[in-house]
Amino acid sequence: MAAFRRSTRAVLAGAGIVALLAPASPAVAGPTDTSDLPAYSTQLDRPQPSDLTFATECSDEPRDLPINEFTDHRELGIELDRIERNSDGRVEVEQVGMSNRGREIWSARVGTGPKAVLITSEIHGNEKTGTDAILDLLDWLSTSDSAKAKRWLDELTIVAIPKMNPDGAELDRRGNDMTWAEATARFPQLRGSEPAWNYYTGTLQGDDYSERPGFDTNRDYHPDLNYVPRAEDFPGDSASTGWYLTPESRTVRDVYRGLTAEFGTVDTYVDLHHQGACYVMPDDPDEFVTLSISGKFVDDPATMPGYEQYAADYDLDYSKRLNVAVYNALQGAANNRPLFGNVTLYPQDTNLPGTGLGAFALNGSGTVLFEVRGQTQTLGQQYRAVLTRSVYIGLDGMLSALASGRVDTLDPADYDAIPPRGPSIGSDAIAEAAVSSPR
C-alpha cells in the first residue's frame, strides 16, 4: 500500500531551494506567503523553503512563543457565527455547554445524511491546529456547490465541537482550569476521597499548575455514558476509566449520547491532538514525523474483565479502515509536498478506556486519532499553516471515503502496514511517557 516517499530534502534540492537555507538557519517564508491561507487552499500543497527546517530541525524545550495567530475563544464565536450566517441554513451552531470558568462550548452541525460523524478539537488547550482545520472545513462546506460537498451533505451528518476545553485554550496549556474543591462541590459524594490521578498541581510542559490547578479532560471519560462518579473509583490510574468530573467531558458525552439516540450509533468519532515535536520517521531518522494517526485505544473488550458488555459493538477493523483513508489522502498530497507523507502509526499498545476515543470506541464508533507535531510551546504559530493543512487533508480523505462508501472497500491490513512512529530525539520523551498519551 505505502507509496514511495521522497524526502523533503531531496525534493527541495531538486527544486533548487536548499541553497536558500543554511543548515542551521531559521525557517523563512516561502516565495508566496501562505500563512494566512485557509486550510482548504491547494496553494498550501506547494513546497516551501521553510519545509527543510520543519522536516530536519527540532526543539521540544518549552518556550514562550506567540500564539496570537491561532483562534482564541472570542474569535471562535465570531467565526462560527459568520459561517452559520453565510451558510444559508446549512450550518447550525449551538451552545452545548459551558466550561468550568463559564466560557461557551459550541457545536456546529452540517449535513443531513444517515452517518453521524463527531469531531472534537483542543481537548488539550495547547493543541490548536485542529480547531483551525475544523473552522476551515465548515467554512468550505457551508457554501460549496461542488459535487463532493453535496455528497457529504447527503450522506453525512457532521457535528464538530471545536475548542472543547476553552479554559485550557485561553491559558495555552494542556489541562483545564478547575480545582478538586470545585469537583467535590459538584459531587459531594467524593468529599474525603483522594484527588483524581489526572489532577495537575505541579509543572507540566513548562506550565505551572500550582496556582491554577486543572484536570486532563482526556482522562475523564467512561464507556458507561450514564456513569456518575463514585468515591470508591478514586484516585484511579491511566489504565482505568474516568468519571465525567469536568463540565467539558460531560458536554461531549451529552452530545455523543444525543447523537446515539438520534442515529442509533455515532458512526465515527475523530479527536484532534498534538504530540511531541521531535519524533522521527522510522526509516529516515533525519526527518521528523508530521503527524501520527491511530484507531486503537483499548484492548479487545472481549478479553478485558469488566468490559465484556462492549465486545459486540467494538469494531477495530472499521477504525482501521477510517485511518487508512486518512493515510492514503496524506500520501497522495505528499507527491507535491513531501512532508505530508511523514505519517506514522501512534503506538498500538495503547489501552486507555478513560479517553474519549477509548470510551466511544467501546460504544461502537469507528475512531480516528490525529497527533500533529508539536504543541504551541514548542512549534508555536511558525508552522501553523502546513500543520493545519495536514489535518485538513486527512479529514477530507476520511470524510470523502465515508460519504462515497469507499471506506468499506479499504483493507484493514493496510493499517498494520503504516510505519510505526520512530523514537523522540528530544528531551520531551520522558515527559511524554509520564503523562501516558494520547496527548
Rounded-to-integer distance, Cα 224 and Cα 119, Å: 20
Q: For position 18, what pLDDT does the model report?
A: 43
CB 43: neighbour CB atoms within 10 A? 12
Nearest C-alpha neighbor of 292 from the set 347, 337, 339, 335: 347
The pTM for the full model equals 0.92
Q: Give the bridge partners for 117, in sequence order.
A: 158, 268
Rounded-to-integer distance, Cα 330 and Cα 392, Å: 10
Q: Where are the domains of the chain?
A: 8-34+41-175+238-434
Homologous superfamily of domain range 8-34+41-175+238-434: Zn peptidases (3.40.630.10)
Q: Give the bridge partners for 207, in sequence order.
A: 204
Q: Is the pLDDT of residue 221 over 70?
A: yes
pLDDT tens string 79-130: 999 999 999 999 999 999 999 999 999 999 999 999 999 999 999 999 999 9
For the chain, give percent helix, strand, coil, nearest 5. Answer: 40, 15, 45
Rounded to whole angstroms, what are the CA distances from 177 to 124, 139, 165, 212, 355? Answer: 11, 30, 9, 6, 18
Residue 63 corresponds to which cell in the numbers above? 518556550
Contact status, residue 270 vs residue 402, Cβ threshold 8 Å = no
Contact status, residue 417 vs residue 1, Cβ threshold 8 Å = yes
Q: Quick one: which H or E segment has residue 159? A: strand 156-161
Contact status, residue 206 vs residue 246, Cβ threshold 8 Å = no
pLDDT tens string 222-240: 999 999 999 999 999 999 9
Nearest C-alpha neighbor of 204 from the set 242, 176, 238, 240: 176
Confidence of residue 380 (pLDDT cuts 50, 70, 90): confident
For the segment 26-34, the average pLDDT, to the nearest whole number, is 50
Which residue is associated with the grid cell 526509516?
A: 283
Q: For position 379, what pLDDT does the model report?
A: 82
